[in-house]
Every structure is written in C-alpha cells, then in structure tokens.
A and B are shown apart, each in its own frame.
Chain A
Amino acid sequence: MKKLINSPDTVLDDALAGVAAAHPTLKVDLEARIITRAGGPSVGKVALISGGGSGHEPLHGGFVGPGMLHAACPGEVFTSPVPDQMLAAAQAADGGAGVVFVVKNYTGDVLNFEMAAELAGEDGIEVATVLVDDDVAVKDSTWTAGRRGTGATVFVEKIAGALAEQGADLASVAEIGRRVNAASRSFAVALSPCTTPAAGKPGFELAEDEMEVGVGIHGEPGRSREKLEPAAAIVARSLDAIFADQPLAAGEETIVMVNGLGGTPLIELYVAYADVAKYFAERGVRIVRNLVGNYITSLEMAGASFTVCKADEQMLALWDAPVNTPALRWGA
C-alpha cells in the first residue's frame, strides 16, 4: 500500500484537520466529527444533513455551504458514521424548521440514521429522511437491501439544498429530494480496485485487460467482470442499463454527470463525456445541464460512474440557484 498518509489509524482525523485549515467557511468539530457551516444554523430554514463513510470526497463535506448542505457527518473510511454524529449535526444545524437527512441506501447508513432520527425526535428536532437508491447495477427487490445510493446523491443535495435555502418547509424539501432520486439512475464501471488504509490490500484484483462492471463506491466487486473495452463501449453499456431502467424519449431534458471514481484523470472523463453526448444526441434526448469531474469517489479506484436525472422545470431552476461550497460553486 502506497498512500499519502501519516498513519492508517489517523487518516480521517488528519483529513478533517486539513478541511478545517483549508476552508474557513466551514466549521469542523474534530471531537464530534461533524462539518457544519461556519455561520451556524439558518434561523427559520430547513437544514439539509448528510453523511456516510469517508473515502468519497468531495462528498459530503465538500458540499457543505449556502445552497447545499448544512452539515456533514464523515464516518471511518467506507463505514457509516454513528448516531451520535448525526444527532450532533442535527443539533448544530437545526434552525427551528427541522432537518432533512439525505441517506444513501446502505444497510449501515440506514440503521445509524434511523437511530439518529429517533434521538433527534426525542430532542424536539423534526426530521425527514430522503433515501437515495439510484444504482441500476443492483437488481431491485423487496428481498434484498435494495439499490445503492450513488451519484444521484449529488443531485439530491444540490436541488433540495437550493429549495431549503429559499425557505421552503420540511415536507417540501424532503419531497423534492425524493422526486430527484426517483428521476435519477446511475451505473459505474471500475478499471482498477481501491485499497482502504485500514485493510492495506485492494478489495478485489483485476488483470491488466479486465474491468469490473456495475460497481458501487466501496471497492466491492461489481455485477460481472468483463474484458476491457474502449470508452465508447463502456459508455454505451452503462447508458443502456440506465435507459433500460428509465426510458427517455426524444426531447426530454436531463442533467447528466460523468463522475470519476478517484483514479481516473479528467482527460479520460471528457473522452467519456464526448461519447455520452453522442449517445444522447443519437436518441434526441437533451442534456441541459452537466457535471464532469470527481464528485463522489471511491478512494483511488479508476473508472467512472454515469448519472442521468430526468429533470423538470423546478429541478432545473433549483439546479441553477446559487451554491457556494468547496466542491460546487456557481452564481454566488
């Protein structure tokens, strides 16, 4: 294992110290392990709170700021945070209008956020939860843990965060978050595995000419292993899976993200985006907003995820609303 760290045991604390030093707009509580806006709660406004295992940066801490999250709870690498963190975040961020927990659908995250919602409720804080489960690589079934939450988390946090910033009530903020999730689908392909600092070894091994298809964001194996393909074929395979799950007709408007998993250079993401744009153009489906870059990563995993949100007018207006966070900033 070759990593730019001081010790595998202190990676999270050391990184949080770095976040604190780099971003004066954020307040990092190293003891409670939460990241909040330096300005404190917004009185009378709903606060959006998210959290999850670390190793997906800039998610979630990088999305704390006006127009997006009020607080983030980073867990150990790839391990969900604990209820104490979420409760501390809710107490620190609640402006009196309640909090929305944005939870990626993983058993650990769901259980810990559920416990935190109970504790916050006992504290008199109103909590609504938006569960993100957009990964079409997972066959959805009532008999499994269901689909994973991946790229759509960024869309949910941006769009619901914008509505919260405008002063909408708790039910409305949660409702738009759920609507964005329901309208979004993702699919990811890995070209190399990743290594958590604590494990020291990659989660799986791939030969030079192989790729892992349908991966999540935790270095776990995907649905299948295939021979490596050119970018255009990888894009087609991923978008085929997305379109098969949510058909899109000519003329429909979408927000599309081509997201790097951590170890793929931007030049390759743009190679992929060219193929994405072509795929959409051939079908007459419109990409009216896009993101190309590293927004929800899986440590140093090489590869990309593709997220498509079928957007309506309200979503697009909220997408365009000002946002000012370390990792997403426009109009502000």
Chain B
Amino acid sequence: MDIHQTRTWVRSIAAAMDQHKDHLTQLDSAIGDADHGVNMQRGFTAVVAALDGYEPAGVGDVLVKTGTTLISKVGGAAGPLYGTFFRATGKQLTGPVADAEQLAAALDAGLAGVQKLGAAVPGDKTMVDALTPALEAFGAAARAGEDEATAAEKAAEAAETGAKDTIPLQARKGRASYLGSRSTGHQDPGATSTALIFRTLAEVLKP
C-alpha cells in the first residue's frame, strides 16, 4: 500500500460513512444514543478536509493525521477509539509503502491501542469484535505469503462476520451496556463501522 492508496482508503471510508450514515445511526438508536452514523460521517468529512493539501512523507503520516483529526473532531467514544486506532497503526508505518506483513503488524498495534484505551475484549459487543477477527485473518494471510489485497479481502470478510456475530451478545462496554439483556438481538454499530473500514480497504487494494 502506497501513500496514494492510503489517501484513497481514507477518502473511501468517508464516502462509505456518508452512504451508511443512516444505517449506523439506526443500529445505534436500538442500543445506544442514535449518533454513531452522524459522528463517523462528521469525523471523516473533517479528515478529508485535513488531508487536502497535506504532504505526507510516508503511509503512516496519512493515518496519524487521520487519527489526530478524529480525536479532535468526533467526540463520544468513537473519536478517541478510532482516532487511537489510526494513530497507533500509522506510527508503525514510516516508509512510503507498506507490504502485507508490515501492515499486519501496524494494524495489530492499532488494535492494542484501542484495547489499552477502551479495555474491551472480544465478546463485549464493541468494535473489538470486528477488529480482532479482521486482524487475525489479515495476519494469517500475510504470514502465508499472500499479498495485501488478498489479506484485506479476508480481513473484510472476517470483520463482517464478526459484526454479525455481535447480534446475540449482551453488551458489557459502552452505552449499550446500560441496557443489560435488552442489548441482545441487535448488531453493534461500532463493529459495523469497523467492518465498513475493512471493506473499503479491500476495495482500494483490489488489483
């Protein structure tokens, strides 16, 4: 993945959040406070504006800028958590290109940052339920010598499955946890936006 593709990925995330805003908000109104779609769209719109005219030296710079902007603009839990994910991922990628293995290691650092901040583990009904299987799939593909496009496709599929698998879970973190057993039967909005982020990565890297 080069700098241009990284920019395209982030712009595609913005487009995806725009397109899926209502769906994410609808998921959030069932078990949260009905603002996830709006917040993600507002945040990534700000990211696109921040990247305009920005001259990054490496792939990581684009992602660090993305994360910093999300932290400054989104608010809620999504701002710090996604912001930290992109910043921690970006900090690992200093070169003008990143191969599948470098990307896998960097994304793992992103997940570690998210878990350090939010303290969520798989099964809590959060973005971590999509992120963890996605990175496992990405890492396995990279270690098997697959290219990053293949790894990203596998990660996207795993993230989508992970998001769907949150439906029967009872939330133990975030605002949905206040609902207790009433949080079951609904797909987690954060896991869903994570799946969108990996779907766009797969599309951008598709040869």
Whether A322 sits at the interface, judged by CB under 8 Å, is: no
- Whether the pair B33, A78 counts as a contact (CB closer than 8 A) is yes
| A221 and B179 contact, Cβ closer than 8 Å, known pairs A83-B72, A201-B29 | yes
Q: Which of the listed residues A84, A107, A218, A223 has the most CB atoms from chain B within 10 Å of its own CB?
A: A107
Q: Which residue of A lies closest to B34 (CB)?
A: A199
| A79 and B178 contact, Cβ closer than 8 Å, known pairs A108-B79, A144-B173 | no
B177 surroundings in chain A (CB, below 8 A) = 138, 144-145
Residues of A contacting B: mostly: loop
- Whether the pair A198, B38 counts as a contact (CB closer than 8 A) is yes
Number of B residues, CB within 8 Å of A: 33
Whether A219 sits at the interface, judged by CB under 8 Å, is: yes
| A107 and B175 contact, Cβ closer than 8 Å, known pairs A76-B39, A83-B71, A83-B72 | yes
A198 surroundings in chain B (CB, below 8 A) = 35, 38
Cross-interface CB contact of B178 among A76, A143, A148, cutoff 8 Å: A148
A143 surroundings in chain B (CB, below 8 A) = 172
Interface string of B108-132 (1 = CB under 8 A from A): 0000000001100000000000000
B183 to chain A, nearest CB (A): 9
| A139 and B75 contact, Cβ closer than 8 Å, known pairs A145-B175, A199-B29, A199-B35 | no
- Whether the pair A76, B175 counts as a contact (CB closer than 8 A) is no
| A111 and B180 contact, Cβ closer than 8 Å, known pairs A106-B175, A199-B29 | no
A127 to chain B, nearest CB (A): 17
Q: Which residue of A lies closest to B173 (CB)?
A: A145
Complex Cα–Cα for A138 and B181 (A): 12
A197-241, CB < 8 A from B = 198-199, 201, 203-204, 216, 218-221, 223
A30 to chain B, nearest CB (A): 16
A111 surroundings in chain B (CB, below 8 A) = 77, 79-81, 117-118
| A79 and B175 contact, Cβ closer than 8 Å, known pairs A108-B76, A115-B80, A139-B180 | no
B182 surroundings in chain A (CB, below 8 A) = 221, 223
B1 to chain A, nearest CB (A): 28
- Whether the pair B29, A107 counts as a contact (CB closer than 8 A) is no
Residues of B contacting A: mostly: helix
- Whether the pair A82, B71 counts as a contact (CB closer than 8 A) is yes
Complex Cα–Cα for A52 and B76 (A): 9
Interface string of A99-137 (1 = CB under 8 A from B): 000000011100110110000000000000000000001
How many A-B residue contacts, CB cutoff 8 Å?
109
- Whether the pair B178, A216 counts as a contact (CB closer than 8 A) is yes
Whether A264 sits at the interface, judged by CB under 8 Å, is: no
A223 surroundings in chain B (CB, below 8 A) = 179-180, 182
- Whether the pair A75, B33 counts as a contact (CB closer than 8 A) is no
B21-65, CB < 8 A from A = 25, 29, 31-35, 38-39, 42
- Whether the pair B79, A107 counts as a contact (CB closer than 8 A) is no
Complex Cα–Cα for A179 and B53 (A): 51
Whether A196 sits at the interface, judged by CB under 8 Å, is: yes
Whether B185 sits at the interface, judged by CB under 8 Å, is: no
Whether A153 sits at the interface, judged by CB under 8 Å, is: no
Complex Cα–Cα for A223 and B180 (A): 7
- Whether the pair A80, B180 counts as a contact (CB closer than 8 A) is no
Complex Cα–Cα for A78 and B173 (A): 18
Q: Which of the listed residues B25, B35, B78, B172 has the most CB atoms from chain A within 10 Å of its own CB?
A: B35
Interface string of A161-205 (1 = CB under 8 A from B): 000000000000000000000000000000000001011010110
Complex Cα–Cα for A221 and B38 (A): 19
Mind listing 14 A-B residue pairs with CB under 8 Å?
A53-B76, A75-B76, A82-B75, A107-B174, A108-B75, A143-B172, A144-B178, A199-B34, A203-B34, A216-B178, A218-B33, A219-B33, A219-B34, A220-B178
Q: Known pairs A53-B75, A218-B175, A223-B180. 18 more at Cβ < 8 A?
A: A77-B35, A78-B33, A78-B35, A79-B76, A80-B79, A81-B75, A83-B72, A108-B75, A108-B78, A112-B80, A115-B80, A144-B172, A145-B173, A203-B33, A216-B175, A216-B178, A220-B32, A220-B33
8 closest pairs, A vs B, by CB? A108-B76, A144-B177, A218-B33, A111-B80, A108-B77, A107-B77, A198-B38, A79-B75
